[in-house]
């Protein structure tokens, strides 16, 4: 089957909002007396919905209390985002442009409900074929729901779709969806993304020919 659709995760793949997310999580968890390191971020909350992230650390809280905690994290993230530019990975933007020019459909997905606003801020939203955010899904990664929904909206099948992910649970979700996956190792630890078809440190290491050769 040919490559007909490319599905990009947002945080850590297109935009470098990971430091902003980490500081927001750390600030919120600190209010509950929880120490929270960047290693905790990578293992427990990276790439999943806010409620799931809050639940992974604040195990003693009720669902209502978790909603409050998750809302605090969101407010801290929005506060920081409003005060800073959104850094982008230009190599990813270039690859998206190349894919679109070649007639390959492109989706951007994120477990974050902030996804559409961030894409609009960086001028990418209107160029995409579809966008799926945390507002559209019921189950977080490693459940494949978000990737299967993207394929459905792009009118393509999982075996014609290629996922670009930097998170462990994101790679697992792509595998669970039956899709091929490019793992982007931003942390110097490629073993954590084992299961991806290709693992790179940045998307300047691949081109259309290399991606199409996966299919």
Q: How far apart are CA 160 and CA 179, in angstroms?
A: 7
Q: Which long-range contacts (CB under 8 A, 24 or more apart) does 60-68 make?
A: 61/32
Q: What is the pTM of this model?
A: 0.83
- Give yes or no: residues 40 and 142 share one domain: no
Instruction: Report pLDDT for 116.
Output: 93
Arithmetic mean of pLDDT, 44-71:
92
Please state, rounded to an integer, the average pLDDT across all residues of the chain. Answer: 94
Instruction: Report pLDDT for 43.
Output: 87
Q: How far apart are CA 19 and CA 40, in angstroms?
A: 13
* Percentage, residues of the chain above pLDDT 90: 79
Residue 83 scores a pLDDT above 80 = no
- Give yes or no: residues 106 and 190 share one domain: yes
- Give yes or no: residues 75 and 140 share one domain: no
Residue 47 scores a pLDDT above 80 = no
Arithmetic mean of pLDDT, 91-97:
97
- Helix, strand or coil, per DSSP, at residue 113: coil
Domain that holds residue 62: 18-83
Edge-to-edge strands, sheet with 198-200 = 130-132, 105-109, 5-9, 161-165, 180-184, 198-200
Given 83, 114, 131, which residue is the final one in a domain? 83
- Give yes or no: residues 12 and 22 share one domain: no
Which band of pLDDT confidence, cut at 50, 70 and 90, is reported for residue 84? confident
């Amino acid at each position: 089957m040919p490559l007909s659709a490319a599905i990009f995760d947002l945080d850590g793949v297109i935009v470098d909002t990971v430091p902003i997310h980490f500081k927001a999580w750390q600030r919120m968890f600190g209010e509950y007396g929880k120490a929270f390191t960047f290693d905790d971020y990578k293992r427990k909350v990276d790439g999943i919905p806010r409620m799931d992230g809050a639940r992974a650390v604040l195990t003693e809280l009720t669902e209502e209390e978790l909603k409050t905690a998750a809302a605090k994290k969101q407010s801290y993230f929005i506060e920081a985002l409003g005060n800073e530019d959104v850094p982008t990975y230009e190599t990813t933007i270039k690859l998206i442009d190349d894919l679109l020019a070649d007639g390959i459909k492109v989706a951007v997905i994120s477990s974050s409900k902030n996804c559409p606003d961030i894409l609009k801020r960086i001028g990418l939203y209107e160029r995409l074929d579809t966008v799926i955010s945390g507002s559209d899904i019921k189950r977080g990664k490693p459940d494949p729901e978000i990737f299967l929904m993207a394929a459905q909206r792009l009118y393509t099948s999982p075996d014609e779709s290629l996922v670009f992910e930097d998170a462990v649970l994101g790679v697992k979700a792509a595998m669970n969806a039956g899709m091929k996956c490019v793992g982007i190792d931003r942390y110097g630890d490629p073993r954590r993304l084992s299961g991806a078809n290709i693992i790179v440190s940045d998307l300047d290491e691949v081109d259309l020919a290399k991606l199409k050769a996966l299919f």
